[in-house]
Structure 1
Amino acid sequence: MSIVLTPDLHSSRIARINPVAKLGAALLVSLTLVLTIDWVSAGVALVLEAVLLPFAGVSARQFWLRTAPIWIAAVAAAIATALYGADSGETVWRLGFVTVTQGSLALAGAIALRVLAIGIPGVILFATSDPTELADGLAQLVRLPARFVLGALAALRLVGLFVDDWRALAMARRARGLGDGRNPIAVLRRWGSQAFALLVLSLRRGSKLATAMEAKGFGGDSARTWARSSRFGAAETAMVAIGAAIAVIAASCAVVAGTWSFVVS
């Protein structure tokens, strides 16, 4: 069972597409939106992504749970930009050295839309991808070094153990009477000592895993063979084409509307 895919996502259409194609489509959209800060390109991309969202096979509950950090980040970025962004236009609100203008509000909206348009498809596409299939594709199709890819895959597989270790440490400390303090300072000290214990445990497990992988030949320089063949077919080509189409349409709409603005200019 994958640590990312849930049972109802295994049968979705996007879940059956090679993760490399999904990664390529997300990168095309992200790189296009990173080049500019305007609300038209980000808004158009977000609308097109929303139209394609039902094909991901993600329920409403899963969508909101998985994308909650993206929405929080978008709101936080918008507030920070509105308060401390470049001032232009009429002043809407002022408090001491903090000024909110029409220009900073427009910029805040563009930033929020861009965070959503970049973050949401990345989260959804990753949620419908199996890490092992992604590693196979990166090594076989993209030709990334096998040692790097397999090491990253092993580290990703340990994320679940990382969470379990944190819970086990908390229960062990509570059993010894070290986790009952409600004082904020005591809580911070407990988290600090528990985090240090988790770091030591993680380093020990990582060194053991590295030794085991070296013993099994994962660190060799010879060409590797793969148990699963990673293929890039018509569905994968269509996925990349959809990502390119979203990027081109969003950029074209921004250029036609006159809002396209390179961030490096």
Structure 2
Amino acid sequence: MTLLDSHARTGAVARINPVAKLGASAAVALPLILTLDVVSAAVALGLELLLFPLAGLTWREFWVRTWPVWLAAPLTGLTIALYGETSGTVYVDWFVVRISEGSLELALATTLRVLAIALPSVVLFVTVDPTDLADGLGQVLRLPARFVLGALAGLRMVGLFLDDWRALELARRARGVADRGRLRRFLGMAFALLVLSLRRGSKLATAMEARAFGAPGERTWARESTFGGREWALIGVGLAVALVATAAAVAAGTWNFILGPSA
């Protein structure tokens, strides 16, 4: 665990059940998925930025974790601005590029919506431990234990891919076959890594079956996953952000139900 991870896991939100974090993220995202307008996305994003300090992350941690979202959102908006639906005044018309008043408005709404949906998910799940998430999915949501534990075991193996890749690279370099043909070398190492992954997955599945992970009947858990007042409060905050954003868009007359006849 890095120093960044240890700091991120010391806030009050870090001790909340991951299922509640999943529910809060879904509550914020649902109304923003159903509409494409500037007001609802801007209001939701503004409220989220006010609440993010409560997550226990420092500003450095926040930017380190969320910079891909801040980079991807404007790029998404740029695509909409250049190739989106044309309406209103046309500012640029060249080849397949057509920038208009309507496409710029859609681009701004899309950028804000991507930020408002992605940022809460990233901030909340920084503090999630995979084992705690599996406990919550199995005990709180009552998902099949076989699926949950299998996914957890696979997720725990992801970190070994980097170690295997480095070991393969060093082994090929020691044999003198890693100096030329970068593309060929990459394809060869990718195939070797695939073979190693299949072998490790087969061994893991056999070991889990030997320990009765797939046995029928009710399963016991090493740690109890609780769901109480803090969890309901976090979901309530997510619902409040969604309701305020929706109410603001309806009051401003900008609510645009994308699944409706006018979409």
Q: TM-score normalized by structure 2?
A: 0.94
Aligned equivalent of 1:242, options 237, 240, 260? 237
Distance 2:71 2:170 in 1: 30
1:21 equivalenced with 2:16 (yes/no):
no
Aligned equivalent of 2:210, options 215, 224, 227? 215
Contact preservation (8 Å) 1:5, 1:128: no
Letter matched to residue 222 of structure 1: G
Distance 1:4 1:17, change over 3 A: farther
Query: What SS class does the counterpart of residue 218 from structure 2 fall into?
Result: coil
Distance 1:110 1:94 in 2: 22
Counterparts of 1:1-265 in structure 2, within 5 Å, are 6-181=5-180, 186-265=181-260
Distance 2:162 2:58 in 1: 25
Query: Cα distance, 1:168 vs. partner?
Result: 2.0
Distance 2:157 2:224 in 1: 24
Q: CA-to-partner distance for each residue in 1:152-205, whole Å, 9 max, x for gaps?
A: 111111111112222222222223233334xxxx32222222111111111111
Query: Cα distance, 1:4 vs. partner?
Result: 11
Distance 1:241 1:229 in 2: 23
Query: What SS class does the counterpart of residue 6 from structure 1 fall into?
Result: helix
Distance 1:37 1:75 in 2: 16
Q: CA-to-partner distance for each residue in 1:213-239, whole Å, 9 max, x for gaps?
A: 011011111110111111111111100
Query: What SS class does the counterpart of residue 144 from structure 1 fall into?
Result: coil
Q: CA RMSD in A?
A: 1.6
Query: What SS class does the counterpart of residue 158 from structure 1 fall into?
Result: helix
Query: Cα distance, 1:102 vs. partner?
Result: 1.1
Contact preservation (8 Å) 1:5, 1:130: no
Contact preservation (8 Å) 2:164, 2:193: yes
Letter matched to residue 229 of structure 1: E
Contact preservation (8 Å) 1:26, 1:243: yes
Query: What SS class does the counterpart of residue 180 from structure 1 fall into?
Result: coil
Contact preservation (8 Å) 1:4, 1:128: no
Identity of aligned residues (%): 58
Query: Cα distance, 1:5 vs. partner?
Result: 7.7
Distance 1:4 1:205 in 2: 30
Query: Cα distance, 1:257 vs. partner?
Result: 0.8
Letter matched to residue 242 of structure 1: V
Letter matched to residue 80 of structure 1: T
Q: CA-to-partner distance for each residue in 1:126-174, whole Å, 9 max, x for gaps?
A: 1111111111111111110001111111111111111222222222222
Q: CA-to-partner distance for each residue in 1:23-77, whole Å, 9 max, x for gaps?
A: 1000111111111111111111111111111111222222222212212221221
Query: What SS class does the counterpart of residue 217 from structure 2 fall into?
Result: coil
Contact preservation (8 Å) 1:38, 1:259: yes
Letter matched to residue 61 of structure 1: R
